């Protein structure tokens, strides 16, 4: 089976490709990535010469290119997206282009070519929850420009499913962590700054709550939904461990023997959602997926990977460690 993976130089996309090619020789992968912010060619260096792997530099908004690539494949798994909330506050336009226009380009082509699309979405489409847990039938209520563009993509996909009977599946996950994540995100940023004995910024009081899922578990879920999922359905993946940001940072500092004096509370970002929570009961009951990696093991493995792979992140721009990046916002 030949699969087109978009955004395969990013964090989750690269882990997904590595999983597929490691677990089975029945898959052939074409990876299309624009090599923009957050992409890292080093993420797939171990498979660059594999006969089952091909890399194409390109943007998912390029209709001619996407028509050509999709025609060669049996299905598309769309990881490509602008994905950092802080940057969506600073520059919403790039998120609209990638996350809405890019998704539409793929969606229109797979409808005409009669291929399957798996769209990778996020728990952030449900917005902040004071209580309870979101499921696949919960209302979309995004807060940030990033979340709004992902919700818009979902609505567009659902419309194509109903109007054109397009073969589509939507998956949503809670906060991912693990190897190869871009250092702007909380966990890798904390590990890197702690290693360098630099101040670690935490928004507000650090009480914002997220559920964390190890990236390998998420990739297992995406593959399960792709192979067994029903067209027109959506599936949620969660790690079943809601933890606040302050506890996460303290845990990392404890594991690498660094002082909590490195913690620095900074001005909260605009519209910061307090709590995300999602149930993965549906995919567990219907398709048999469950997370395998508990947070204690996952965070230890993640820390070890970053400490052992300094070459992966040492050239990252210093701007990503800006404690309040949205203050460079472009005027709208």
Catalytic residues: 123-124, 146
Give the count of beta carbons closer than 10 Å to the beta carbon of residue 24: 11
Q: Given strand 28-33, what is the order of strands in its sheet?
A: 53-57, 28-33, 2-6, 75-78, 116-122, 168-173, 234-237
Give the count of beta carbons closer than 10 Å to the beta carbon of residue 65: 16
Chain centre distance of CA 207: 22
Rounded to 5 degrees, what are φ and ψ at 115? -115, 165
Give the count of beta carbons closer than 10 Å to the beta carbon of residue 15: 25
Residues with Cβ within 8 Å of 313's Cβ and at least 6 positions away in sequence, in order, are 183, 188, 192, 306
Element (H, E) at 11: helix 11-23
Name the DSSP class of 102. I
**Token pair recorded at residue 183:** 């250092």
CA angle 86, 268, 302 (to 5 degrees): 60
Crossing angle of helices 215-228 and 11-23, rounded to 10°? 70
Element (H, E) at 217: helix 215-228
In whole angstroms, give the CA distance from residue 206 to residue 274: 10
Residue 139, SS3? coil
């Amino acid at each position: 089976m030949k699969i087109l993976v978009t955004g395969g130089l990013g964090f989750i996309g690269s882990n997904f490709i590595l999983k597929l090619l490691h677990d089975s020789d029945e898959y052939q992968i074409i990876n299309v990535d624009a090599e923009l912010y957050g992409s890292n060619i080093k993420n797939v260096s171990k498979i660059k010469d594999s006969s089952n792997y091909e890399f194409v530099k390109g943007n998912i908004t390029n209709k001619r290119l996407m028509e050509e690539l999709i025609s060669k494949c049996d299905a598309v798994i769309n990881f490509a997206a602008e994905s950092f909330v802080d940057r969506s506050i600073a520059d919403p336009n790039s998120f609209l282009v990638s996350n809405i226009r890019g998704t539409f380009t793929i969606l229109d082509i797979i409808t005409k070519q009669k291929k399957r699309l798996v769209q990778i979405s996020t728990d952030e489409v449900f917005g902040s929850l004071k209580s309870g847990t979101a499921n696949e039938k919960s209302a979309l209520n995004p807060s940030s420009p990033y979340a709004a563009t992902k919700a818009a993509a979902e609505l567009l996909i659902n419309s194509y499913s109903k109007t054109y009977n397009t073969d589509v599946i939507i998956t949503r996950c809670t906060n991912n962590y693990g190897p190869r994540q871009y250092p702007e995100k909380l966990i890798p940023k904390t590990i890197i700054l702690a290693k360098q004995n630099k101040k670690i910024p935490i928004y507000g009081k650090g009480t914002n709550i997220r559920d964390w899922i190890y990236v390998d578990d998420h990739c297992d879920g995406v593959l399960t939904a792709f192979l067994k999922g029903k067209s027109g359905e959506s599936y949620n993946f969660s790690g079943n461990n809601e933890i606040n940001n302050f506890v996460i940072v303290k845990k990392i500092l404890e594991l690498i023997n660094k002082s909590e004096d490195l913690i620095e509370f900074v001005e909260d970002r605009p519209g910061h959602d307090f709590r995300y929570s999602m149930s993965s009961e549906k995919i567990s009951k219907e398709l048999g997926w469950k997370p395998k990696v508990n947070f204690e093991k996952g965070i230890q493995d993640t820390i070890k990977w970053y400490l052992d792979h300094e070459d992966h992140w040492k050239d990252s721009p210093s701007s990503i460690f800006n404690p309040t990046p949205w203050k460079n916002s472009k005027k709208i």
